[in-house]
Amino acid sequence: MTAEQAIRLVIADDQALVRGALAALLGLEPDIDVVAEAGDGESAVAAVLEHSADVALLDVQMPGMDGLCAAELLRKQAPSCRVLMVTTFGRPGYVRRALQAGAAGFVVKDTPAKQLADAVRRVRSGLRVVDPSLAAESLVAGESPLTVREVDVLRVAAGGGTVADIAREVFLSEGTVRNHLSSAMAKTGGRTRGDAARIAAENGWLL
């Protein structure tokens, strides 16, 4: 296969070792050409545009612009580029949000190299690829029941902040914060605000 025919791939991950390992492994494939590596979503989008990439392999959690935001931007700015999300955390909520953002696939980082390469080929060909176990969990978990404000207060609560701390952080009254926390606890089944934040995070609802 010639260089012109090879799949032009951009890899984005904020961990240099992981990024390098993925690039090295996928670069061994005769039909995949790793044209650029990036440490954040913004750099990934720029690399896709610069190299006219066919596929972008994006980590979900990155500093600055995360993978989900990058996927949404690529859908608008580079619609011909297919996005394959990859993450260490197989949280079902991430899958639904990734697909809503325009991603064509979602796999976990411990996917064997050959399977990952095959996933790149499949999304490039127009197919959708989702790790089977994550797909099943996503269907069971369903969409996030939390409102935007409930997510805001749980994010701060996850850090152990008091109601007063949360109120200052999200610019709401303490009474309103208590109401949001109470509602979030009821929706997640958490017995405490910490439980609610943990459950929401495990389902990928706080990203």
Distance of CA 167 to the CA centre of its chain: 28
Sequence spans of domains, the chain: 7-139, 148-202
Output DSSP code: residue 115.
H
Spatial CA neighbour of 130 closest among 75, 84, 66: 84
pLDDT in tens, 133-185: 665 455 445 567 888 899 889 989 888 888 999 999 999 999 999 999 998 88
* Type of residue numbered 184: A
pLDDT in tens, 31-76: 999 999 999 999 999 999 999 999 999 998 898 899 989 999 999 9
Sheet containing strand 32-38, strands side by side: 32-38, 7-12, 55-59, 82-87, 105-108, 129-130
Which class is domain 7-139? alpha beta
pLDDT over 60 at 111, yes or no = yes
Q: Which of 1.10.10.10, 3.40.720.10, 1.10.1740.110, 3.40.50.150 would CATH assign to domain 148-202? A: 1.10.10.10
